[in-house]
Amino acid sequence: MAIISSGGTAAPAPRGLRSGAAPERLVDPTAAVEEPPVREDGLRPRRLDDYIGQSELKQVLRIAVEATRRREEALDHVLLYGPPGLGKTTMALVLAEELGVRCRITSAPALERPRDIVGLLVNLQPREVLFIDEIHRLNRVAEEILYPAMEDFRLDLTVGKGTTARTRSLEVAPFTLVGATTRAGSLSSPLRDRFGLIQRLEFYGQDDLEAIVQRAAGLLQLALQPCAAREVARRCRGTPRIANRLLRRVRDVAAVGGHGRIDAALVDQALSLHRVDGRGLDASDRRLLALMLEAYGGGPVGLETLAAGLGEDPATLEAVVEPYLLQLGFLQRTPRGRIVTAAGRAHLDAAGALVA
């Protein structure tokens, strides 16, 4: 299966919680520029059978793939949503592999001009997969070009200007659009309604994460003890992308220290160095909880207020930082604002020595 990435001139998506000139977060679930590009990341599973976790999603997609294969049609358009780092891009690549077709990869901010999206669509071969990341950021013009393409595999193009403007229809090959978003609620309903399959990716459980870490360790030829895999899994915020990143940092410490077998103590040493605590929180998470507790008595406090206090973009705070704290039950969203829970307070007290 060939993978073609396109675009890339537009501004990057907001990254995780950053403060001033502080270094990037090790536990930022969004993709880091220094990480292997999609086609070179040997840790990604290529087939549904290798993809660990997300069992409901896999079950739905396995049936859809098998049915379309029998009908010899393009798979219905698929919308994947959920927090970053859980495997939406990977799943698009897996789907293409299962269908035996190419996957073309782009992201909405790279589709700035109408000709960007038109160029991609007219070059698609029958049944190919077009993956659009951050699809909630698609501009209105690109969205309107997509509607007839998704529905009838047709492009309605306006040729000429003013009174001489005319509409021309152009056929495109039957294709599958896989859209990915961290913000399903930000998609317009006409766009959302054109996806036949809408699936949420969930944070991974401890067992699945341990299996993902062990699989990655095998591919990286690391001798990882089960207790070490458990420790990485506990600290990776339910997110495989972070698990793999943490594993690479552990590998560095093991290599420099000349450790052959990696145990839990070595994982602790490596991750403490990066200030990632026992539940996967880093200094930025703890700063958020500390700000809420110290300046607002634990809340309720509004998202905008918190973002301003931390010098962070509210959308990033909401989409990238909060989901894991909500999942842990350290934070709650209420109609009057965010509050720190008793568990969040207890964690911060216990982690006191680590607070930045």
The alpha carbon of residue 84 and the mean position of all alpha carbons in its chain are separated, in whole angstroms, by 2
Size of interface with ligand ADE, in residues (CB under 6 A)? 12
Cα–Cα distance measured from residue 57 to residue 202, given in angstroms and rounded to the nearest whole number: 9
Cα–Cα distance measured from residue 180 to residue 11, given in angstroms and rounded to the nearest whole number: 18
User: Catalytic residue among 30, 90, 181, 182, which?
Assistant: 182
- Which residue stretch of 30-38, 44-52, 65-73, 103-111 sits at the interface with ligand ADE (rule: CB under 6 A)? 44-52
DSSP at 321: I
103 is a contact residue toward ligand ADE (CB under 6 A):
no
Beta carbon of residue 98, minimum distance to ligand ADE (angstroms, whole number): 14
Q: Residues for the chain: how many in total?
A: 356
Beta carbon of residue 271, minimum distance to ligand ADE (angstroms, whole number): 18
Cα–Cα distance measured from residue 156 to residue 49, given in angstroms and rounded to the nearest whole number: 39
Cα first-last separation, the chain? 46
87 is a contact residue toward ligand ADE (CB under 6 A):
yes
215 is a contact residue toward ligand ADE (CB under 6 A):
yes
Residues 266 and 254 sit within 8 Å (Cβ to Cβ): yes
Residue 241 annotated to the active site: yes
- From candidates 53, 82, 83, 299, binder to ligand ADE by CB under 6 A: 53
Beta carbon of residue 141, minimum distance to ligand ADE (angstroms, whole number): 34
Residue 282 annotated to the active site: no
Candidates 79, 190, 86, 209; CA nearest to 143 is 190
Residue 140 annotated to the active site: no
99 is a contact residue toward ligand ADE (CB under 6 A):
no
Nearer to ligand ADE, 85 or 323 (CB): 85
- From candidates 27, 31, 43, 340, binder to ligand ADE by CB under 6 A: 43
Element (H, E) at 156: strand 154-159
- From candidates 29, 45, 84, 179, binder to ligand ADE by CB under 6 A: 45
Beta carbon of residue 90, minimum distance to ligand ADE (angstroms, whole number): 6
200 is a contact residue toward ligand ADE (CB under 6 A):
no
Q: To which residue do tokens 């090959």 refer?
A: 173
212 is a contact residue toward ligand ADE (CB under 6 A):
yes
Nearer to ligand ADE, 43 or 101 (CB): 43
Task: Outline where the chain has alpha helix (H).
Answer: 55-71, 88-99, 114-122, 140-152, 189-193, 206-219, 226-235, 240-257, 264-273, 283-296, 303-310, 314-316, 322-328, 342-350
Interface residues with ligand ADE (CB under 6 A) are 43-45, 50-53, 87, 90, 212, 215, 240
Positions annotated as catalytic residues are 88-89, 133, 182, 241
